[in-house]
Structure 1
């Protein structure tokens, strides 16, 4: 061997050794904290150090990303070296957001195609099964026991999830056809568990294929009302009635739709048993954050995520319980969408009312637009984008109902005060003469009166801007006034989310790592390959951290009376918004929301939600904590440990790693740490630096809002090279002046509000004392920049 060959061989060996040593790196916990919260959990010693240093440059053209953005790194045998992000440690990713790499794709492509006869048989079986299910459901319409009584707490829950759009039912039936076909093909061993889990089923044609939405050849300047036509190549991404995405493959016990079971193979504990043992009532006020932070969070959540549950064919709510909750209906009498929550006979609360069953109906499914079969995908009844769909509607028909002449939104003029328009549907619990029940874009604006207040504020903001634009541009017709106003109001809303709300939720480090902080000018983050659709994990668990921060009381303050005007128990104003007709009430409630602290994020939920939610005239209501646990299982959300691994944390191997109180409570209901539900586990974690939620939820939420930014062509910060309706630099600068405090100052009744804190989500702490609404600390937008 020549000297030159020896040198070349030595160089090659060293290169391969360096690359392999990087690839062998273990994904450790780069920025997590110990599991804790108010259980005082011990340090888990989670900062496991790899023997290999993180890569400065990823091998094999890999990209360094936060672990949650590379789901393939948790697959058995995966080799994803650690690497340096700007502020944290990430993993080198070679698969993007795909759940498997090229090896698995090759393995699938080498597999023989599914037999045509198997496909035909699956289609025929699917159609027969759907017909049988629909006939069974039609028969239940005539049975009183199968319909929820309007006086039951479950009726309020139904109002929170119902949709009046017939298209949802048609798509839901199509999704069932494809689901049944997947079940049949799996039973014939034509589909493997891996193919289902990894979504390698696009080589099968489902019996139902929804058409892609029609889109204009020249992109509209304005965002569509239903979220469609945002992405040129994938026009259905983020649209209304499309399915939630997945961070990890679901954990269905049959691989397709059956609810998750324990790691031991036994059924999981009742969701109510989990709630009773782990999600207690407690009072742990936040030191800085107020209830307005909580309420705005619910307002954001309702905008981007609305689960749609199955109903009877006539639209009536399905009952899975007998005798108003005194027993679970026998399986042969249940609707196929039933998954009732079973209560112990000696339940500490419900036992005194002889309740043995909490009604629970599964979420309606959505078909894939690639015509494939596969595991169940739940339907989002709203567009996935932050586009104020609960203000403007999610369909052209709904938007037209909410509009008024002159480019305005319709209102109920209550003696000179603009409130949302009254609804003709009986969706409120106080339906006597003179009681107000309001219309909204998502039909859920009456759920709690503090939410109705925000609907009111944003309705007024639209009308304020529309009147100003109409005066500035007298040549505009009312359609132009309306759509230009909507474009501006959506930008204000998105700016408040990314500039004010998310930083307090996630902390500056995570905001920086995920590129969520608004730019000085136009943003450059758009990626047409990013699917913005919400993940099921975000919708059913991470974003539901907000249920922990709800307080049991709404405090109504009066500056004129110099104190608390009244305190209202939260359940008393659920679907009962008539107090808004009391003239000073809106201002006084806003003052209370800004003054009263929210609760801390922890495994404690007020009894207002865990015992009395939607109680109406009953001495008991629903348990929202139990419903959250059951909803996660409905979606096939994997165990908490799986998501700890996904975000780069060490999984819990034993309950005894935790403090005795936490270990005792968890082990009293769960057989294994691998059974812990994601929503429960996420609430146990200590908050990340500068934020209020733990590492697991923080990464799931940050990842989601990154997708909503990168995958939204109409995101307010994008320039004309991306956004067909881009703002000019001077207009964008004006929008970036807007704060929630400005919105509140401009749209309160001005009866008792003449000042606000510069940061509306912080209490009046030193440095955030209230200032007059005309203070330069609460900047106003100069609408003259929008004169044509």
Structure 2
């Protein structure tokens, strides 16, 4: 059974992992089948310079911290993975204007930004009656896939099979990925090579090691599972490992659902979310193209250039390398 199946009463395969994105608007390919549209429109880089140019690190008017941004990234990882490049790779060029202050400082007029098209269902994109459809590799449900993955083999690698807990090292932290589970492993471009996946933490989502903030949430919910499992074991000493694990898993998923719906969304939207009133068969639970490719990308404009850390006395702490803040860029891939 595919992860996420049978959670929609009408269509058992809606919202499952590796499902095609939901359609909320007609396709707009240049040829109506698969070719990229917008070749005659302004470059995305030009629009970015016009609309998004400004100072970095500006404070929030609503007193929100970087926690809001990266919790949002965790929510995205929980329900969405649809922008990763396909196979074979399809690379296109985003034009960079001559004398662009960041990408063409020497005014060569020959610079461009590489753009890789997302993976898609290979059975689509062959005719106007079957245009290309992108794939969401995660379930669209808030079902804890960020914590437990969408693979039974993957989560079994994480489990201790003792008292319903997940495996830890001697310090109670997630173990390193000695089993070489296929975790995202993208070092800085200047290295021109892949690095060992064994240096990563073994967690439920392949992207969790991407940056220190997202990794913090991965470790937090990992350890929360073990805490809940120990409580369940104390309350029900006669339960098997499987019973304790599934009880803890349900509570962790419920925690995620509650925090996302009734704390994160109100903090972001500035308005409360109505209490759950029951199943609504008219609401499609899948992830739409517009949502995954545009609407939920708002968070990219909120990412700060770095993260400050403070001690118990609220004093700023320097990083291991002596910097004032943790940098949030590709260099993180070299320091894990």
Question: Which band: TM-score by shorter chain?
Answer: 0.7 to 0.9
User: Is 1:240 aligned to residue 13 of structure 2?
Assistant: no
Instruction: Choose the corresponding residue for 1:410, options 167, 184, 187.
Output: 167
In the alignment, which residue of structure 2 is the partner of 1:445?
208
In the alignment, which residue of structure 2 is the partner of 1:286?
60
Instruction: Choose the corresponding residue for 1:494, options 240, 257, 265.
Output: 257
Shift of 1:419: 3.2
Instruction: Choose the corresponding residue for 2:285, options 532, 536, 543.
Output: 532
Q: Label 1:428 to 1:309 Cα distance change in 2 as closer, same or farther (>3 A).
A: closer
Instruction: Choose the corresponding residue for 2:185, options 427, 445, 457.
Output: 427
In the alignment, which residue of structure 2 is the partner of 1:505?
268
Deviation per residue, 1:724-766 (Å, 9 max, x gap)? xxxxxxxxxxxxxxxxxxxxxxxxxxxxxxxxxxxxxxxxxxx
In the alignment, which residue of structure 1 is the partner of 2:147?
391
Normalised to the residue count of structure 1, the TM-score between the two structures is 0.37
* RMSD (CA atoms): 2.7
| Kept in 2: contact 1:446–1:576 (CA 8 A) | no
Shift of 1:402: 2.1
Shift of 1:296: 0.5
What is the correspondence of 1:193-208 to structure 2 with a 5 Å cutoff?
Answer: none
Shift of 1:502: 0.7
Separation of aligned partners in 1, 2:172 and 2:22: 42
| Kept in 1: contact 2:187–2:330 (CA 8 A) | no
Separation of aligned partners in 2, 1:375 and 1:572: 34
What is the correspondence of 1:173-572 to structure 2 with a 5 Å cutoff?
Answer: 226-261=3-38, 267-283=40-56, 284-287=58-61, 288-307=63-82, 308-312=84-88, 318=89, 337-352=90-105, 356-366=111-121, 373-406=129-162, 407-411=164-168, 413=169, 415-419=170-174, 421-422=176-177, 424=180, 427=185, 429=187, 436-508=199-271, 511=272, 516-518=273-275, 523-560=276-313, 562-566=314-318, 567-571=325-329
| Kept in 2: contact 1:446–1:577 (CA 8 A) | no
| Kept in 1: contact 2:232–2:244 (CA 8 A) | yes
Separation of aligned partners in 2, 1:410 and 1:449: 21
Task: Give the number of the structure with larger relative contact order, counting CA–CA contacts within 8 Å between residues 6 or more apart.
Answer: 2
Q: Label 1:572 to 1:238 Cα distance change in 2 as closer, same or farther (>3 A).
A: closer
Instruction: Return 5+ residue gaps in structure 2 as ranges.
Output: 189-193, 319-324
Separation of aligned partners in 1, 2:11 and 2:255: 27
Where 2:210 maps in the other structure, the secondary structure is coil
Shift of 1:553: 1.6
What is the correspondence of 1:585-734 to structure 2 with a 5 Å cutoff?
Answer: none
User: Alignment length, in residue pairs?
Assistant: 311
Shift of 1:526: 0.4
| Kept in 1: contact 2:176–2:199 (CA 8 A) | no
Deviation per residue, 1:15-46 (Å, 9 max, x gap)? xxxxxxxxxxxxxxxxxxxxxxxxxxxxxxxx
Where 1:575 maps in the other structure, the secondary structure is helix
Runs of 4+ in 1 over 6 A off after TM superposition: 430-433
Where 2:104 maps in the other structure, the secondary structure is helix
Greater CA drift, 529-538 or 235-244: 529-538
Separation of aligned partners in 2, 1:574 and 1:432: 13
Instruction: Return 5+ residue gaps in structure 1 as ranges.
Output: 1-213, 215-224, 313-317, 319-336, 579-788
